Structure 1
């Protein structure tokens, strides 16, 4: 074929660096956004955070009030105080705040808590302190400490003594009996149950550490010999085997349930993670209104010193000129991120206003497509906005994704939200007779009487998502 030149016209989408940055910022959580902004602040001298005294720009603050359809987005609306720190909703359902000037007591409390947390001892340290005070010989104390190091964070010894024996120095000539004696020393330490090799042994050790009583003795017998029957809630067979009545078995059951199957967990160090809501919902004049949370919004501006130097030396800015443009892009994209979050949040609240008035049972089915069509946005944009973004309401703090759910048909031709059905299942289970708990089929029948057609397997799926045990495990004496 003879080569030739041809002219062809076509259309294709090109993502500019500014658009790519806008998309990236939109999908970040509040924590991730702050981490990304710190990187920009370190790399770009034209960008800086405001210190709160007469800001030149604060993303979202001009529009941080209600996302009302009655007002233009560019108009300032009612917003939370900028100098306040939102903490929680008060008894009236309002997002309560506390000024920094009167927070010295709480600051001290926080400091004390952090010091106590830092000073907390681990399980191994706690056990080692007890061993240091014991009258054991140096040889036995070293062996006990060896077993302590083999425990997991819950206080269990998962390796067998036979597997641990070869790990000891051969020249010390330890035997299996020495390890068994050392393990008994470990199992007599506080907390009770530590050093157990199974959950059954853990519960048994805790019962043995209690003062003797008829209830304790019955519980000990159940744990040592019939724990499988108790797990199956086979109370009738337990009463026959133990020769006890309902009251005695009920007391023994309650005692066993009060035991801790993870005795070492109280000494584990757990980092508490807090959620900072992106938006706050209030009820104003019988309407639910969304406003941006100032605590979640970074306060950025152009560095005035560098900007004035650049203005005085026009045409010779070089790298500063491009950094100034990048800073302006970033500020604009952060502003747009919060504007979009505010618009989507208000649309969600408008669609789910029954939830805010009456709770989970009033949640209606909602899809990303409905919000996208309402706001003339792409569905992927709504998906990014609702991921890892949180809303503070008088009913709690929820991820925006929480307000979306599949629907189930009703007899009247309408639809019920899966969230509402879960709430109804929870209500039915909470109100059931514990001696005759409701089966999945019975729950489906009761929902059917309310006009909600749900299959038994769907009930089972929703029940499992609520961490509700099956009917056999909910039965009591």
Structure 2
């Protein structure tokens, strides 16, 4: 028989406050996203203001040691010492006013015979973007020529054709329906509904307008799928036989083409593998996204958070001043509020608390990034000297134990953070890899093994490429035992094609 009972129980558990949860979330953001969050806080908080570099109070991150020497020893020990501000610069790049002061006077002659300095109306903010000093001035970005968009180019070509108003309206409706890749994703039936013509347009008219738009440049525009896009570009192949073979491959064997299975296509098309591979190589030169040729290029640049360089025989770690937000407390507003504070001003009190928390968060974020980077450089200084083959195995716990941080904190710090070195720009996570034991009992990192695999493939014979099993056997002969599937994983991380594809390209 079931009975009901009640009892009390006490338990303790850790719960992150909303503010701490937000701090953890901000720590794992990239510097660009973090700068956007700080700019958003500047816009909604009256107690925060941007530091314009006018000689006012320095931002909170100025208290950090911007450049430190890392004395990397052979045993992995590290020693940190802050350099004096007089010996080395405290930022990665000079400030805008310092840069202008070092430049010669290249001003132009004004109406009264004096020199006009065009640099007086300009200054840079914390993200090194130029902006106008006063409203109404002509900005430098406004003087740059704007690249025409895909739709603008197609409309200009359409204007050169002597088309009836009805046909031109249908063609323009198709142009306005194209996406950024240059494809027509909108069904033709919906385009019919968008056009307001009398009498209403019919589907054959829209098909004629589509063919007319597809005849414009760039070739392949207004296609409805990849096969149609490539087919529209096949006219660039001069040989009629190759053009017909390419048309059959694109329209009938697209999936096989994507898998680079030349042998299967050769059997199904009853052609020699050399002919098929030559045509496939010609198809690969076609542009599957013709819309990308027009308009401004959308380039996502990686901005390093720290800069590592060698000075006087020692590796130094320096914060990149371009990614440090220039934000400070508005002391005048804060003092006025504290002097005249009332009970009903709780909203302003919350803004003041948020402003102080934001400043502490900015300082703590970049101090932690600097500490983690210093610990990484102290252990991986051989990599900076000799390259990926000298990378030593290192885990997140090793850095966390040294700095007294939680392992998850180190993981968040190294996420989307980049280090600029003489060898290039690397994500901080690149320097972490698990240890693999060799036959001699020593350990090596996965990064070093990937570099070794890449060197082996680069040195392989063109007539006999190495398979993953061959690479695993050669590594075993050198004392490193890896499973074939591990070699395959490392090869895929290096974005190297398998042996079948490499052999096919060599044969072509």
Pair 1:281-2:308 in alignment: yes
Given that residues 147 and 295 in structure 2 are in contact (C-alpha distance below 8 angstroms), is that contact kept between their aligned partners in structure 1?
no
Distance in 1, Cα, partners of 2:326 & 2:193: 61
Shift of 1:348: 0.7
What does residue range 63-82 of structure 1 map to in structure 2 within 5 Å? 63-66=65-68, 68=70, 70-71=79-80, 80-82=89-91
Are the structure 2 counterparts of residues 149 and 240 from structure 1 closer, same or farther at C-alpha, using a change threshold of 3 Å? Answer: closer
Given that residues 412 and 451 in structure 1 are in contact (C-alpha distance below 8 angstroms), is that contact kept between their aligned partners in structure 2?
yes
Match of 1:208 among 219, 222, 235: 235
Match of 2:263 among 215, 226, 234: 234
Shift of 1:12: 6.8
Given that residues 365 and 405 in structure 1 are in contact (C-alpha distance below 8 angstroms), is that contact kept between their aligned partners in structure 2?
yes
Are the structure 2 counterparts of residues 243 and 113 from structure 1 closer, same or farther at C-alpha, using a change threshold of 3 Å? Answer: farther
Q: Secondary structure at the match of 1:66?
A: strand
Given that residues 278 and 296 in structure 1 are in contact (C-alpha distance below 8 angstroms), is that contact kept between their aligned partners in structure 2?
yes
Pair 1:401-2:433 in alignment: no
Distance in 2, Cα, partners of 1:180 & 1:325: 63
What does residue range 341-380 of structure 1 map to in structure 2 within 5 Å? 341-380=369-408
Shift of 1:345: 0.5
Q: Secondary structure at the match of 1:416?
A: strand
For residue 500 of structure 2, what is the aligned residue in structure 1?
472
Match of 2:283 among 256, 261, 264: 256
Contiguous gaps of at least 5 residues in structure 2? 1-7, 71-77, 104-117, 123-128, 132-138
What does residue range 43-442 of structure 1 map to in structure 2 within 5 Å? 44-62=45-63, 63-66=65-68, 68=70, 70-71=79-80, 80-82=89-91, 84-85=93-94, 99-100=99-100, 102=103, 111=140, 115-116=144-145, 118-122=146-150, 124-157=151-184, 172=199, 177-209=204-236, 212=238, 216-226=239-249, 228=253, 231-234=260-263, 237=266, 241=270, 254-267=281-294, 270-306=297-333, 313=339, 327-442=355-470
Distance in 2, Cα, partners of 1:278 & 1:41: 22
Are the structure 2 counterparts of residues 472 and 175 from structure 1 closer, same or farther at C-alpha, using a change threshold of 3 Å? Answer: farther
Given that residues 276 and 390 in structure 1 are in contact (C-alpha distance below 8 angstroms), is that contact kept between their aligned partners in structure 2?
yes
Shift of 1:64: 0.8
Distance in 2, Cα, partners of 1:237 & 1:15: 62
Of 322-331 and 338-347, the range deviating more from structure 2: 322-331
Given that residues 282 and 288 in structure 1 are in contact (C-alpha distance below 8 angstroms), is that contact kept between their aligned partners in structure 2?
yes
Are the structure 2 counterparts of residues 53 and 157 from structure 1 closer, same or farther at C-alpha, using a change threshold of 3 Å? Answer: closer
Q: TM-score, normalised by structure 2?
A: 0.72
Distance in 2, Cα, partners of 1:22 & 1:163: 47
Given that residues 187 and 193 in structure 1 are in contact (C-alpha distance below 8 angstroms), is that contact kept between their aligned partners in structure 2?
yes
Q: How many residues align?
A: 450
For residue 94 of structure 1, what is the aligned residue in structure 2?
none
Q: TM-score, normalised by structure 1?
A: 0.76
Of 11-20 and 410-419, the range deviating more from structure 2: 11-20
For residue 73 of structure 2, what is the aligned residue in structure 1?
none
Are the structure 2 counterparts of residues 172 and 83 from structure 1 closer, same or farther at C-alpha, using a change threshold of 3 Å? Answer: same
Are the structure 2 counterparts of residues 31 and 184 from structure 1 closer, same or farther at C-alpha, using a change threshold of 3 Å? Answer: closer
Are the structure 2 counterparts of residues 288 and 168 from structure 1 closer, same or farther at C-alpha, using a change threshold of 3 Å? Answer: same
